[in-house]
Structure 1
Amino acid sequence: MAVSPQDVKKLRDATGAGFGDCKKALTEANGDFASAEKILKEMGLASAAKRSGREANEGRIFTYVEGSKAGVMNLSCETDFVAKNEDFVQAGQALLKELVDNNQTALTEEQETKTKELGAKIKENISVKELALLTGTSSDLIVDYIHGDGRIGVLVKISTDSEATASNDKVREYAFDCALHAAAFSPLYLNSEAVDPAYLKEQEEIFTTQAANLGKPDNVVAGIVKGKLNKHLSQICFVDQPFVKNDKLSVAKAGQEIAKEIGGKVELTGFVYFAVGQ
């Protein structure tokens, strides 16, 4: 049957498919719009599957905070051009909100299908590369920070002793500064307790060998190793790093100073750091 240009345009606007594909789908569906759209989705999913082997090393980091619940997601694609695409950005933000609202740590089959359909529309391999949720209580403060065009995304959780403390302006400023700090210095661990014991042991052995080569007495070697290990931990552990707003204080110490000033508890107890391409 004959297909009008208006119908083709309508289908193209709805699906993002090419003019020729839309015309072919409408013809095959005898002009039925819903059937034609289904045909295009099936075609799109097939083409997306063909693209699944292509590298998707670009993307965008999304964050979402709602009260004591938050999430951060790395939605990958193949080019930075697509990472700035309005459909890509809107779909990523909507998906993360849905995941956080439902406390999901993985996509449902329906969500996976929608992601593939987006890839078919944009014509790139798109997938959720990383996803993390962060939750707290009413006395916790969770803040987010996105750097640049979504190249880096951070969530930070500050635990306090009350809702009043959590809503204090100085505490909120500290929380945001901690998020900025994480984006700038990309800590690997929250604190020394979070570091893999096997990794610590390996580093201690390395430092011991280095110190022993100096020909120093055992007690001096032990002191050198302890100093090197503490310095290393201060480089990789968030709470021990020199604070971005005052490098004379550690991140933890800066929080303690605010706690003394306002008369409450202020402690960095959680964070998530995602970056595109890592």
Structure 2
Amino acid sequence: MAITAAMVKELRTKTGAGMMDCKKALTESNGDMEKAVDLLREHGLAAAAKKADRIAAEGLVYSYIHGNGRIGVLVEVNCETDFVAQTDNFKALCKDIAMQIAAAKPAYLKREEVPAEVLEHEKEVLRQQALNEGKPEKIVEKMIVGRIEKFYKENCLLDQEFIKDSDKTVQQVVTEAVAKIGEKIDIRRYTRYELGEGLEKRNDDFVSEVMAQAK
């Protein structure tokens, strides 16, 4: 059965689970809405979404320094209690997020933080690219929508592919952690430092280096 955007939206409204999780549940249940709800509940994702309105004011400011001292990350990850903040599971999540930032260099935390002028500039560049490729104007706008999604996935931390599992986004990893840990978790802010950033220097494959340390 074809899974429509309307079906995904309905399931998301019912459960509060993420869009990709809803689509996956509907696919697995062959479009059966009630079975999809049960699948999300079984995985703890519906319950995790219900924690979204709770206050998360505890947590950690986690620091990660790449092994050769060329990259440093500070990230604030919030949870609801200091007890959870000191658990191994929460610290492991903080480390994974910090390593993600070090390796993938996201420009923004989430898509809502992308400035309107940046988004409009990107759309115009993409529009001209599509026209230069000889695409008909009537489909250019549809192409731009798809390419802007790619922009979000490359530049927004929560939309990025998780470096340890490309089948998941960082947001999905956080959502799964909420279900496992039992508290609301937010990535609040981060700063990434790169030695000599802005100066002329050789290019390094930092993703490979960071992943090598993660093994």
Give the TM-score normalised by structure 1.
0.47
Letter in 2 for 1:180: M
Indicate if the aligned counterparts of 1:142 and 1:156 stay in contact, CA closer than 8 A: yes
1:50-75 CA-partner distances (Å, limit 9, x unpaired) = xxxxxxxxxxxxxxxxxxxxxxxxxx
Letter in 1 for 2:146: G
Indicate if the aligned counterparts of 2:76 and 2:190 stay in contact, CA closer than 8 A: yes
Cα deviation for residue 208 of structure 1 reads: 1.8
* 2-structure distance, mates of 1:191, 1:226: 17
* 1-structure distance, mates of 2:89, 2:142: 38
Match of 1:46 in 2: none
SS at match of 1:206: helix
Matched, 1:267 2:189: no
Matched, 1:237 2:156: yes
* 2-structure distance, mates of 1:255, 1:271: 15
Indicate if the aligned counterparts of 2:57 and 2:78 stay in contact, CA closer than 8 A: no
Give the root-mean-square deviation of aligned CA atoms.
Answer: 1.9
Cα deviation for residue 196 of structure 1 reads: 2.6
Matched, 1:202 2:114: no
* 2-structure distance, mates of 1:232, 1:138: 31
* 1-structure distance, mates of 2:155, 2:118: 12
SS at match of 1:277: coil
Letter in 2 for 1:193: E
Q: Which has the higher contact order (CA 8 A, sep 6+)?
A: 2
* Structure with greater proportional helix content: 2
Cα deviation for residue 163 of structure 1 reads: 2.2
Letter in 2 for 1:154: V
Which protein has the larger Cα radius of gyration, Structure 1 or Structure 2? 1
Which of 123, 133, 144 is the matching residue for 1:225?
Answer: 144
Which of 215, 218, 229 is the matching residue for 2:135?
Answer: 215
Closer, same or farther: CA 222–260 of 1 in aligned 2, 3 Å: same
Letter in 2 for 1:215: K
Give the TM-score normalised by structure 2.
0.60
* 2-structure distance, mates of 1:138, 1:221: 44
**Corresponding residue pairs, total:** 141
Match of 2:96 in 1: 177
SS at match of 1:264: coil
SS at match of 1:203: helix
* 1-structure distance, mates of 2:144, 2:158: 21
* 2-structure distance, mates of 1:171, 1:224: 39
Correspondences of 1:1-278 after superposition (within 5 Å):
139-213=58-132, 214-216=134-136, 218=138, 220-278=139-197
* 2-structure distance, mates of 1:210, 1:252: 30
Closer, same or farther: CA 149–230 of 1 in aligned 2, 3 Å: same
Indicate if the aligned counterparts of 2:57 and 2:79 stay in contact, CA closer than 8 A: no
Closer, same or farther: CA 262–148 of 1 in aligned 2, 3 Å: closer
Closer, same or farther: CA 201–217 of 1 in aligned 2, 3 Å: closer
- The alignment-based identity, stated in percent, is 30
Cα deviation for residue 262 of structure 1 reads: 2.2
1:68-120 CA-partner distances (Å, limit 9, x unpaired) = xxxxxxxxxxxxxxxxxxxxxxxxxxxxxxxxxxxxxxxxxxxxxxxxxxxxx
Cα deviation for residue 217 of structure 1 reads: 5.4
Question: What are the ranges of 5 or more consecutive residues in structure 2 without an aligned counterpart?
Answer: 1-55, 198-215
Cα deviation for residue 138 of structure 1 reads: 5.5
